[in-house]
Each structure stands twice: as structure tokens, then as C-alpha cells.
Amino acid sequence: MKRILVVSYSQTGQLTRILDNLLAPLEAAGDVAVVREALQPQPAYPFPWTALAFTDVFPESVQQWPCRLAPPTFDPAADFDAVILAYTVWYLSPSLPVTAFLQSPEAARVMRGRPVITLIGCRNMWLLAQEKVKAAIVQNGGRPAGNIVRMDRAANLSGVVSIAYWMLTGRKERFLGIFPRPGVSEADIAATARFGRPLQAALASGDWSGLQPRLNRLGAAPVVPAYILFELRIAKIFQVWARFIRRKGGPGDPARNGRLRLFRAYLLTAVFLLAPVATVATAVLQRLKKEKLLKMVTHFAENRTGPLEG
């Protein structure tokens, strides 16, 4: 009997459903014991979000200041053959509950010497969040052994409107009947089951070396080159904003509300006015940096650790 620990945080339950589909073939096989740990931030993050709460998590997400978590229920000293970490992306970083878990003594204990498979559910930008997560796994003594990404299929701009509508109203439906339905499609959620089989094979053989290529043949980690440039640029600006806001106080401190409002105004401007300009600039850069970009695509798609060269 193989044993896996599955740690996750999903606010609306979308990622939980994706995870359920990934685990279904393993659970059906009957020879894998699955121990599940759903992280519980204290207090829970509100859903739907208020505009203030949505931006109040920004500085700490970007700078990876952990939130408080309820004590985990799994035994970190138990023997596991692998760990699955299912997370969502907040501001190009792992969500705060996952950041908190990655920095916990339980994560260090349970990841040490073990393969860690990541499952990401996000809108469309996961590359730099995964860099942070891989670094934390390595720091904990674990081995990033495979990565599976499920995301929205909407175009970038209409997707922003859709997800904002979902996050701020709690309604996972088409805004005004015009915008695409937010979130990962039902078909993509269900089709996550196809990644269960390569996982099962790696678990059975104990050979994790070929897992990522096998997952990629099934479309596990598609990398859009333009998004590499997008994310690298946005991440730099995010760091500046995060420092600027945190100088006024920590999470929930009313002293920083003014700066959070400014950041919201920046986000709106960036998304609707600067993004089209950035798209053109990115297309030009993409031509100039073709070789560097290709190297980076390989780095992300193959779930490599170490510095991002390019």
C-alpha cells in the first residue's frame, strides 16, 4: 500500500474539485492510501471578497508573509511516499495559506527527502508563483517531482473582468451575459483525471524522473512565452507597491487603506490602459529575446529548480 499526503487550500471549492478529479483514479485503484489536509486560515478569508479585503492580501502575498493557520490534522512524522500540494495563485505568488504551510515546521518535516507534486488552479499566470513554491519545497528538503496546471481559457482582458465579477459577487456566471464564464471550465476540471494515471505509475514504481515529461504529453504545464515577460515585469512593479503599502502597517491596518486604494486604481489602469501597450511591447521583446525565452519556457515547462536563466 502506497501512502500520499495531499495538502490544499481552495477558497471557493474550485481547486478542491480539480483535486478530486486528479485523485479519483488513485483512490479507485485501492492500493493508495490518501491522507487529505485542507488548510484553514484563521480567520478565514471572506468570499465574496470586498474590494478592500481583495487588495489587503496583496502585500503579504507578494512578500510571502504567512497568515495564521489552524494546526494541521495530519501526522508529519508518518511515512508518506509522496506529497501533493494543491494551491491557487494570489498576485503571482502562492495563496497566503499555502505560503504559511510552506514555512511551517510540519511542511519541513513531511517534505524532507520526498517527491512533491504541485497542482495549480489559477486564472492564467502561475509561472512565478511556481518558482516561489519550488524554492520553498527545495528549502524544506523536498524534490519538485511534477507540476500540473489548470487555468481559465478566457482571453486575458475579458478573463480579468470575469474573475473580478466572480470574486467580488460570489457568482460564478457570465457577467452581463457577455463575458466568458469565470474559472476553470467544467470540462477541464473533469479532464484533470487523465493526470492521475502517470502519477499512479510513478507511485507504484518509485521512479519519479520521467513524470513531468509524461504529464506534459497530456498537456499538464502549457507555457505561453509572452506571459513570461508579462509576469517578470509585473512582479517587479508588485514588489515596489508591496513595500510602499507595508510601510503603513500590516494586514487589516486601516493606516494603509489609502495606499491600498491607490494600488486598486493602479491595477485598474494597468489592466485596461497599460496592458494593450504592454502586449505590443511584449511582442517586440519576444522577437528580440527569442533564445532566452525558449530557455525559460523549458525551465517552466519541465518544472526545473534553480535560477531562472534568460
Ligand X SMILES: Cc1cc2nc3c(=O)[nH]c(=O)nc-3n(C[C@H](O)[C@H](O)[C@H](O)COP(=O)(O)O)c2cc1C
Residues near ligand X (CB under 6 A) are 10-12, 14-15, 54, 57, 88-92, 121-126, 167
CB of 112 to ligand X, least distance (A): 27
Q: Closest CB to ligand X among 47 and 305?
A: 47
Q: Closest CB to ligand X among 14 and 303?
A: 14
CB of 141 to ligand X, least distance (A): 27
- C-alpha cell read off for 185: 471550465
Q: Which position has the grid cell 511515512?
A: 79
Give the chain's largest Cα–Cα span.
Answer: 55
CB of 213 to ligand X, least distance (A): 24
CB of 228 to ligand X, least distance (A): 14
What residues contact 286, with CB distance under 8 A and at least 6 apart? Answer: 225, 226, 229, 293
Q: Closest CB to ligand X among 21 and 32?
A: 21
Q: How far apart are CA 144 and CA 162, in angstroms?
A: 32
Amino acid at 34: V
Residue 182 main-chain phi, psi, to 5 deg: -70, 160
Q: Closest CB to ligand X among 217 and 236?
A: 236
Q: Closest CB to ligand X among 51 and 255?
A: 51
Look at residues 210, 10, 201 and name the one whose alpha carbon lies nearest to residue 119: 10
Look at residues 109, 101, 104 and name the one whose alpha carbon lies nearest to residue 118: 101
CB of 144 to ligand X, least distance (A): 19
